[in-house]
A and B are shown apart, each in its own frame.
Chain A
Amino acid sequence: MRVGIAGVGWFGFQPEVVDYSFREMMFKAAQRAYEDAGGLDPRKDVDAFVSCQEDFWEGIAISDEFAPDPVGGAMKSVYTVAGDGLQCVGQAYMMIKSGLFDVVVVESHAKPSDIITLNDVMLFATDPISIRPLDIGNAHALAALEARAYMHKYGVTEEHLEAVVEKAHRAGAKNPRAVYASPGRSRSSSPVVADPLRDADIAKFVDAAVVVVLASDRVIRDYTDAPVWVDGAWWSTEISSLELHDWSFPVHAREAADGAYAQAKITDPAKEVGFAEVDNRYSFKELQHVEALRLAPVGAAKDLMADGAFCPGGRLPVNLSGGALAEGVPFEVHGLARLSYAVAVMRGDIKAQVDRREVAVIHSWRGVPTTTSVVVVLRT
């Protein structure tokens, strides 16, 4: 039994979607996904729906209840996972593998522009007793602590971060939905937010919704002639106490990657993977995640980056989309944003500078203060 992607739809990817509510954004993304899946009718053809969202982002308690109707799931099997959209892909993967479901729809949406106190809401995710009372002021400081630990241990300099930022904006300029892409943006002249992180190192937030239709190999040809297969999906959470997690390396991303590679029978990722879309919501994170995903030896990503190995047209392009630095971070939609871009590249819908489009690895991290990563392996 193989699980494939039959359709993808997205809406938004604007700093603020003023005209449409989150429900309406979900509906529009779903319409597009179903059209992409050969005009699938969610009222008849879909066995179950999974939505990835988080109550505090929504500003609605038990927001699960708001998931079904905008995507055609009213009075059908729907459940919500409080996690990144790729975790929902993992749920759909398991459901279809079980043989009980043939078509499962995955949805995620985000409207960060609706949150007035975004920094406070982010800090709500820190331990309420051991960290929150410190009133650290800016949630990005938590990422800065990780950046310092990683850079100190592996000799990463601010010039290396500069290279990541530059690549993201240059690649993003070719991605129509990368609203923040600005080629030539100078990192060194952008203000320091939390040393060593400057404004240019930190991805902005963006409003977006993405819907993905997954189907079993038994029925997928009813919906698409060009399925992209999900051959691995794995996730990992390191620990709930930041104090006790590894500050210098994302162990969770390594764990998630190894799980997904094992499922997809990939033994040498650096050779077998054609391109990657990984979380880069902070510039240094791209280097860390490349290493965690075994696309470069630990500590070596900075040099390979400087050599252009991960650039568009390079040996193993990473974030041809520009990633979160160029597109923005749509909360839990982020993993699906990375995935939907990769699917478009693999199907040839997007002409990207990449030689090998047959195998892609997708990664998402849920951002500070989480220690959760998800990795999905895609094949054409």
Chain B
Amino acid sequence: MSGVTKPLNPRGTKYERADFPVFEFPVVGKARYNYTTGEALGRFLAGLKEGKILGTYCSKCGRVFVPPRMYCSYCFREVDGWLEVRDEGVVVTAVMSYISATRARLERPVAVGVIKLDVPGRQFDDHFFPGLMHYICGAAEEDVKSMRIFGAKVKARWKPPEQRTGSITDIECFEVVRP
């Protein structure tokens, strides 16, 4: 590197645009899709519209799939049937989110978490369980940040039936159940 002189301005030397004939090009075109829900997720969404969380189960391994699949990915066979899981469960993991997707600071931070749902008569470990990712409401910011929220009981807060469209957002959030 001999012969390289120290820059006059260590904070960077101004350049003229003409020295670099490079510019950004605006995006042209658009990509839009209409995803087929299929049998499993179609019935799941129809269930949400009715205020129910539906899953499928595999009798061979005992797994319950929420969101449902029509096949068991572990046994590679068609699932054996449908069941309704409870609209409550426990928080497995959660975080506070302070910024939006465009990196703007949110007016009010939101709690996002994963909920292990209760299925009457069945137990699941933390490796594989029927569950949903959703907003957690009614949680103190400190409880989420300190992870005290983990293991807390939560219950779905549903939109009024007339506002449901058959979407994961038919559930507004999972609300912390105060003992």
Q: Are B71 and A70 in contact, CB atoms less than 8 angstroms apart?
A: yes
Cross-chain contact of A120 among B30, B36, B70, B73 (Cβ < 8 A): B30
Q: Give the nearest-CB partner of B29 in chain A.
A: A120
How many B residues face the partner with a CB closer than 8 A? 23
Q: Are B33 and A115 within 8 A (Cβ)?
A: yes
Contact indicator per residue, chain B 86-116, by CB within 8 Å of chain A (1) or not (0) = 0000000000000000000000000000000
Report the bound CA distance from A129 to B69 in whole Å.
42
Asked whether A23 lies within 8 Å of B76 as measured between CB atoms, the reply is no
For residue B13, give the distance in angstroms from its CB to the closest CB of chain A.
28
Q: Are A23 and B38 in contact (CB under 8 A)?
A: yes
* B interface secondary structure, majority: loop
- Is there contact, CB below 8 Å, between B35 and A59? yes
If A27-B70, A41-B76, A74-B73 touch, whether A17 touches B29 (CB-CB below 8 Å) is: no
Q: Is the CB of A21 within 8 A of B76?
A: no
A42 touches B76 (CB 8 A): yes
* In the assembled complex, A99 has its CB within 8 A of some CB on chain B: no
Evaluate contact between B28 and A128: CB separation under 8 angstroms.
yes
Q: How far is the CB of B70 from chain A (nearest CB, A)?
A: 6
- A19 adjacent to B35 (CB under 8 Å): no
Choose from A22, A72, A120, A129 the contact partner of B76 (Cβ within 8 Å): A72
Does B152 sit within 8 A of A, measured CB to CB? no
Chain A contributes a number of interface residues (CB within 8 A of B) equal to 36
Chain B residues with CB below 8 A from A56, complex form: 31
Known: A43-B76, A70-B71. A21 touches B31 (CB 8 A): no
- Cα separation A129 to B24 with both chains bound (whole Å): 10
Indicate with 1 or 0, residue by residue over A125-149, a CB within 8 angstroms of chain B CB atoms. Answer: 0001100110100000000000000
Interface centre among B33, B39, B74 (most CB of A within 10 A): B33
Interface string of A96-129 (1 = CB under 8 A from B): 0000000000000001011111001101100011
Residue B40 is within 8 A (CB to CB) of chain A in the complex: yes
| Chain B residues in 8 Å Cβ range of A70 | 71, 73
Taking CB atoms and an 8 Å cut-off, the chain A residues in 285-319 that contact chain B are none
- Of B27, B31, B36, B69, most A-chain CB atoms within 10 Å: B36
Determine if B76 and A114 form an interchain contact, defined as CB atoms under 8 angstroms apart. no
A59 to B35, CA, bound (A): 8
Given contacts A114-B35, A115-B33, A116-B33, contact A27 B71 (CB under 8 A): yes
The residues of A with any CB-CB pair to B shorter than 8 Å are 17-24, 27, 30, 34, 41-43, 56, 59, 68-70, 72, 74, 111, 113-117, 120-121, 123-124, 128-129, 132-133, 135
List 4 tightest A-B contacts by C-beta distance, closest first. Answer: A21-B38, A69-B73, A59-B33, A72-B76
What are 6 of the A-B contact pairs (CB < 8 Å)? A19-B39, A27-B71, A43-B75, A70-B73, A72-B73, A132-B29
Q: A74-B74, A129-B25, A133-B28 are in contact. List 10 more A-B contacts (CB 8 A).
A: A19-B39, A22-B36, A24-B71, A114-B35, A116-B32, A116-B34, A117-B31, A120-B30, A128-B27, A132-B28
